[in-house]
Amino acid sequence: MSADLFAMVLDEAKGGPPGWWWLSFADGRRPAGQQFLGVAVVRAAGFGLAVMRAHALGINPGGEVSGQQIPASVAPPDEMLDKLVTDKDRVLELEEGWCAASRAASGKERLAP
């Protein structure tokens, strides 16, 4: 674990209650069209802890990770909880079905890759 991640995790451990985190994994070294590795939704008190939880669950495929907290008012589908969903089309279907409120709350157009 890098010193930066360790410091982030220590700060998060002191923070508020855990929430759901959308984690998207990609590998920029792969050819175009093959960079997406998957999405996982995990419960944690912060981004660093979410990444560590994904690793502990064996659902962190490596590569780069980006993430954002899902607003408490939005309930992610059970199919995505604590699992790595690697089918990009399925991720997009799931996102369309449940996260319009999350997009509105975050000001982002999409959560998926």
Structural domain includes residue 29: yes
Strand-by-strand arrangement of the 84-85 sheet: 64-69, 19-26, 36-44, 84-85
| Assigned domain for 44 exists | yes
Structural domain including 101 reads 3-106
- Tell me how many domains the chain contains: 1
Residue 112 lies in a domain: no
What integer pLDDT is reported at residue 44 of this predicted model? 93
Which tokens go with 4? Answer: 């930066």
What is the chain's alpha carbon radius of gyration, rounded to the nearest angstrom?
14
Asked if residue 9 belongs to a domain, the reply is: yes
Does a structural domain hold residue 113? Answer: no
Is 111 domain-assigned?
no
pLDDT of residue 10: 59
d(CA 68, CA 61): 18
Spatial distance between the Cα atoms of 76 and 36, rounded to a whole number of angstroms: 20
pLDDT at site 79: 86
Mean pLDDT by 10 residues, the chain (113 residues): 61 74 95 94 92 95 92 84 93 74 58 49
What pLDDT sits at residue 75?
A: 81
